[in-house]
A and B are shown apart, each in its own frame.
Chain A
Amino acid sequence: AQTVTQSQPEMSVQEAETVTLSCTYDTSESDYYLFWYKQPPSRQMILVIRQEAYKQQNATENRFSVNFQKAAKSFSLKISDSQLGDAAMYFCAYNGGATNKLIFGTGTLLAVQP
């Protein structure tokens, strides 16, 4: 069965600095998708970034980028120039190409210090 592990329950970063959130996963599939979701206190789940496993190039969305290491089954999220609005819970998620469900990690609570 596929699993997603986020080993950092909490992280803290100074405003304008860079922070990296870790995520590892376990799968025997070769075709899959990986996601990072942000959940602010409003509880809304917001898609931050998406990576297709067959693409070697790391996905980037403005200040958010990933370091996708397929062989190591690692999918970390880098947030550059951190802003106060980035403070939230961040979830890593996996979707196998043949299934309809997302498998989530337990989340990392990010605090941004002014």
Chain B
Amino acid sequence: NAGVMQNPRHLVRRRGQEARLRCSPMKGHSHVYWYRQLPEEGLKFMVYLQKENIIDESGMPKERFSAEFPKEGPSILRIQQVVRGDSAAYFCASSPGQAPGVYGYTFGSGTRLTVV
């Protein structure tokens, strides 16, 4: 079991470009969560998805950010027209069930996005 796979590990984008971050959950996990870690801070929840459904996007910025988890393929976090403030580490976690307290999360190694 390869664990939660995130790619790329590092991503550099110029201001105004688009960033696409990918996350393949652990085998058998159908619940995916995205978190953002700004420098010197803890992880902040962004969005929770199940296959083809966004369940909770209360942590997503209202503009430029979107996420999907299609029936086939990885979950994608998309940031349009990136700005310097988007520079952060973005983590994906997956779970076999809806309650992380019960089932636990498995985190990927994160994607570090740098906007220049």
Contacts and interface: CB of A to CB of B under 8 A. Distances in A.
B109 A97 contact: no
A106 B41 contact: yes
Interface in B51-94: 55-56, 59, 89, 91, 93
A52 B101 contact: yes
Interface residues of B, number: 27
Bin the interface of chain A by size.
Answer: 20 to 34
Interface stretch (A37-45, A63-71, A73-81): A37-45
A101 B33 contact: yes
B109 A43 contact: yes
Contacts, number: 62
A100 B98 contact: yes
B50 to A, nearest CB: 10
A60 interface: no
B112 interface: yes
A104 interface: yes
B101 A33 contact: yes
Interface in B31-49: 31, 33, 35, 40-45, 48
